[in-house]
Amino acid sequence: MKVDINNKNLQKIQKEKDKCIGCKLCMNGCPMLCEFCNSPKDILEYLLAEKKVDHKLPYSCLLCGYCTAVCPKDVDLKEMFFNLRENVVSETKGKLPSDLGYTSIKFHQKNSFSRLFRTDIIGLEEDSDIIYFPGCSIMALALKL
Ligand code: SF4
Ligand code: SF4
């Protein structure tokens, strides 16, 4: 799905494009840039020309900040991708495309407090000071042991 990039983000992208010298240092340790471009400068130019972004691009960025840390020109790709995510959410009114896998997260968020997945604490003494709450990952830990 392609969404319109708002003016504020277009201005930010222009600013980052002007700073980028295309040295590709950021690509050495980035898990996603190589999938989308030969240089971040290409992405920035493309976004400015199209004025649209495919939702997969900003949602492929892990927002890890590696690129920002190594960039000699202080190009902030992490912030830009984060802003583009906000842009996508705003344009889609939060109804993100299903290929992002958001449906299962939404299901979890909606149902994790329902009676279906909830249980009452049995045997909790009224004067207890400490409660052991292992969280939902305890099953995975138990399997590993
Ligand atoms: S490290 Fe910075 S200047 Fe170099 S290509 Fe990446 S974003 Fe551009
Ligand atoms: S913040 Fe995004 S673009 Fe930058 S290195 Fe991490 S995954 Fe790559």
If pLDDT is split at 50, 70 and 90, which confidence band does 139 have? low
Mode of pairing for the β-strands spanning 2-4 and 52-54: antiparallel
Q: Would the pLDDT of 83 be above 90?
A: yes
If pLDDT is split at 50, 70 and 90, which confidence band does 145 have? low
Nearest protein CA to atom 8 of ligand 1, as residue? 20
Nearest-angstrom CA–CA distance, 21 and 77 = 13
Residue whose C-alpha is closest to residue 63's, from 52, 74, 78: 78
pTM of the model: 0.78
Nearest-angstrom CA–CA distance, 35 and 60 = 9
Q: For residue range 88-100, list pLDDT tens digits in order.
A: 999 999 888 888 8
Nearest-angstrom CA–CA distance, 7 and 56 = 20
User: Residue 101: CB within 6 Å of ligand 2?
Assistant: no
Helix (H) or strand (E) holding 42: helix 40-50
Q: For residue range 42-78, list pLDDT tens digits in order.
A: 999 999 999 999 999 999 999 999 999 999 999 999 9
Average pLDDT, the chain: 88
C-alpha of residue 55 to centroid of ligand 1, in Å? 22
